[in-house]
Amino acid sequence: MSLLPFSLRVTCCLASAEVLDRLRFVIIQCMFQRIIRGLELTFILFILALVLGYGTPSSADELEKVRAFTREMEFNYVSWMGNAALLKLRAASIGAPYNFDPATQKRIVFENWRYTQQILEKEYELEKIYADAAIIDKELASESLRAELDGLYVRQRELAPFAEAILQEQVSQILAEIGLTAVGQPVPDVWYHSTPLPMALISSPRDRIEQAANISVETELTIDQISVLESRVDEGLGVSSLVVNIGGVGVYPTMVMRSTDMNWILSTVAHEWIHNYLTLRPLGMLYGETPELRTMNETVASIAGDEIGALVFNRFYPELVQASNPSTTPREISIPLDHPEPGDFLRPPFDFRAEMHKTRVTVDALLAEGKIDEAEAYMESRRLVFLKNGYLLRKINQAYFAFYGAYADTPGGAAGEDPVGPAVRALRARSKSLADFVNTISWMTDFQQLRDAVSP
């Protein structure tokens, strides 16, 4: 039976072959979009199942042991994902961004960018008021500032869904061009939402560097609350812990930190979409099975995110490329994807990555010899060295390296001599294209397969 209603079939009979082909294409495209929407909802439910997967605690589970200290302050992903998905569906229902010409799209993105800058500046001023002990009545002192922020929040809430839809479509266009799509459509769709992000509590055994737990905690925790939490976990479980800031989370829609660095935003949107893409394949499904698989996942997402982000940045925002050129401006490094390693904000002559690499290698050697106390004393002495050179690190410990060491897209740094990062980079170097690289590694289920793939 024909998919076309009778009146449309009659029209088609009178149409030229070219028009008929076009109508068929539109129908197929509409059907495909419906299939994609169904996949979107299925994917959201799949991610929700992963988020809710800790419903049956086990006393033998290291993650659940840590969660005994964090339950009251854990971030509510279910609520966040539901609200973000509604925003995306509303924007899609009115045809955003297709109702705007390219010039208008760019104006929307830049206007949203301006609101973000103003909001971040005002929030910083508000933080200074509440941190100033000399100001007694903080609510009165901040009244006008809070009123300004409320107005900015309202205006950005109205504009942000359109700006995000535009950036999503631009990333999608590049994904289609490089071949990371199904019938020209990214699966799942590129959906992200910029928002204040939770922080992550990382724990590691003291006798080795290995991420035992990564638990998202509320955004608004103070430094005092963070220190108390880390101390309770350390003393209660005999582990090394650290609360870290993150720049993105690969839930769906993905979470991306608010920023005025367009290149960073695009790279992070792409980075987190790669995580979504991998989640539908063995490498992503096995993300937490071994430290090696986690490093493979994060390094692939970092490499691909940077490459895709750069393509989008150069294509759609060429006027910003010159402004961000290191040869014409001071060397400022934006927060790298969803792992803002503190030394990557600004690089003075002191080589942060080289010094951190040396620190990690020494720590690994001390721990291998069973010298835990010596390793921890050494890490604290090294923290003071970084501090003297302008890097404000609260702690350098086993948890620090367990988290930052998984992002091995660039040689050196917290990964030390871990062989996983170099192997992933070697596979990218010998792959015919970025799509070939991502699709090849996405079906791997252990580090040995990667070793075999890059062996001479």
pLDDT tens by residue, the chain, 456 residues = 333 333 333 334 334 445 444 434 444 444 445 445 555 555 565 555 555 443 333 444 778 899 999 999 999 998 999 999 988 988 888 888 888 899 999 999 999 999 999 999 999 999 889 878 888 898 999 999 999 999 999 999 999 999 999 999 999 999 999 999 987 889 999 999 999 999 999 999 999 999 999 999 999 888 889 999 999 999 999 999 999 999 999 999 999 999 999 999 999 999 999 999 999 999 999 998 999 999 999 999 999 999 999 999 999 999 888 666 543 333 222 333 445 555 554 445 889 999 999 999 999 999 999 999 999 999 999 999 999 998 989 999 999 999 999 998 888 899 999 999 999 999 999 999 999 999 999 999 999 999 999 998
Tell me what pLDDT residue 341 has: 53
Q: Which two tokens stand for residue 279?
A: 């989640």
Burial track 8-31 (b if 16+ CB lie within 10 A, e otherwise): eeeeeeeeeeeeeeeeeeeeeeee
Rounded CA-CA distance 141/130 in Å is 9
Rounded CA-CA distance 239/12 in Å is 71
How many other C-beta atoms lie within 10 A of the C-beta of residue 435? 16
Closest CA to 241 of 222, 256, 226, 252: 226
Closest CA to 355 of 395, 320, 386, 400: 386
SS3 142: coil
Contact in structure between 442 and 275 (CB atoms under 8 Å): no
Residue 241: DSSP 8-state: E
How many other C-beta atoms lie within 10 A of the C-beta of residue 238? 10
Q: Which two tokens stand for residue 438?
A: 């991502």
Write out the DSSP string of 46-91.
HHHHHHTTT-S--TT-HHHHHHHHHGGGB--HHHHHHHHHHHHHHH
The two most distant CA atoms of the chain are separated, in Å, by 85
In 248-290, alpha helices (H): 262-279, 282-285
The phi, psi pair for 132, rounded to 5°, reads: -85, 110
The phi, psi pair for 408, rounded to 5°, reads: -115, 35
Closest CA to 102 of 316, 254, 250, 308: 316
SS3 204: strand
Cα-based distances in Å from 63 to 58, 118, 323: 9, 39, 44
Tell me what pLDDT residue 416 has: 92
Tell me what pLDDT residue 39 has: 55
Q: Any bridge partners for residue 205, and if so which? A: 239
The phi, psi pair for 124, rounded to 5°, reads: -65, -40
Q: Is 79 exposed, middle or buried (0-12, 13-18, 19+ CB in 10 A)?
A: exposed
Tell me what pLDDT residue 89 has: 86
Tell me what pLDDT residue 63 has: 84
Residue boundaries of the structural domains of the chain: 193-454
Instruction: For the full predicted model, state whether its pTM sits above 0.95.
Output: no
Contact in structure between 212 and 66 (CB atoms under 8 Å): yes
- Nearest-Å Rg of the Cα atoms of the chain is 24
Q: Which two tokens stand for residue 417?
A: 């001599």
Tell me what pLDDT residue 331 has: 28
Whether residue 330 has a cis bond before it, omega within 30° of 0? no
Specify the amino acid at residue 383.
R
Q: Which two tokens stand for residue 276?
A: 């979504």
Closest CA to 313 of 302, 325, 301: 325
Query: Helix, strand, coil: what percent of the chain each, to 5?
Result: 60, 5, 30
